[in-house]
Structure 1
């Protein structure tokens, strides 16, 4: 019997919530073990996941039938991004990438890069020109991915958890 390893990017469903929450808990612990302050203050939490799914912000990358990566995609709405110490590349419509979390079962397999490829295709299909994202100064894994995927460092934004590095990629 062959294993189905088809990779699919799809909207998260409420039935996915428990698996997604487990993946986020793994990511929170991974950040802690890395010595990071990111995600160490009770956010994101289970209610965050429920809210993402209810608002159609939640997306998953599956390998076969298993959820490998979770992400929240939010169109044109990140109040913190209205003030940046620096400058965004564009002023039009955009998608914000938040809460990227990889399952321990799939860590180190390059799936976040595949996720970013899927996000870019999805965003282009919606005729949105730009993707914006922020991350903690000490999240070296995400900083490397953003560099590898061609995101431009634009400055710093203040979120509830403190100052974050902000990036943008123009697609169209």
Structure 2
């Protein structure tokens, strides 16, 4: 009888404090892992409010409780126009940024579920692919992308750093 409801929905302004708490946990986790990613004051509370205001902020909820945050941006990531390498496609795409999981939901495979939901979202809007980048040392995310069938396409430059770029065709 004990089934869990997992839902992807647009973030509301009321979610901003929990989202920022989740991002702070992720920033600290990256720091403890010795990563340079997210260690320079970005993302910050303004990033969260801007994401929500622009309609980019999404939350994955577990039985109504916010568990994962991600920014989903349609067709718009200037850094992706100059890739050292090649994208799989040049049609419409969803960009995934700022993925972070609440610690109390860590290790439950929710980021994989997030990507399932994002791929469904893309398909339901007739969007050809999902593009994502991550730091070379973000081993957890690299593993997830590999397990979800994302192809390594090359390197992009974002916020002063080199990122590994991936794409998956979903239609």
Same fold by TM-score greater than 0.5: yes
Task: Sort the Cα spacing of 1:4 and 1:53 in 2 relative to 1 into closer, same or farther, 3 A.
Answer: farther
Task: Sort the Cα spacing of 1:135 and 1:46 in 2 relative to 1 into closer, same or farther, 3 A.
Answer: same
Per-residue CA deviation, residues 3-38 of structure 1 (Å, 9 max, x unaligned), is: 773111111000000000000000000000111110
Q: What does residue 36 of structure 1 align with?
A: 35
SS at match of 1:157: strand
TM normalised by structure 2 equals 0.97
Task: Sort the Cα spacing of 1:50 and 1:57 in 2 relative to 1 into closer, same or farther, 3 A.
Answer: same
Question: Contact (CA 8 Å) 1:85, 1:156: kept in 2 or not?
Answer: yes
Q: What does residue 91 of structure 1 align with?
A: 90
- Counterparts of 1:74-113 in structure 2, within 5 Å, are 74-113=73-112
4+ residue stretches of structure 1 with deviation over 2 A? 2-5
Question: Contact (CA 8 Å) 1:92, 1:129: kept in 2 or not?
Answer: yes
Q: Partners of 1:167 and 1:112 in 2: how far apart? A: 16
Structure 1 unpaired stretches of 5+? none
RMSD, aligned CA: 1.2
Structure 2 unpaired stretches of 5+? none
| Aligned residue pairs, count | 171
Please report how far the alpha carbon of residue 72 of structure 1 lies from its aligned counterpart in structure 2 after TM superposition. Answer: 0.2
Q: Partners of 1:133 and 1:54 in 2: how far apart? A: 21
Q: Partners of 1:167 and 1:65 in 2: how far apart? A: 30
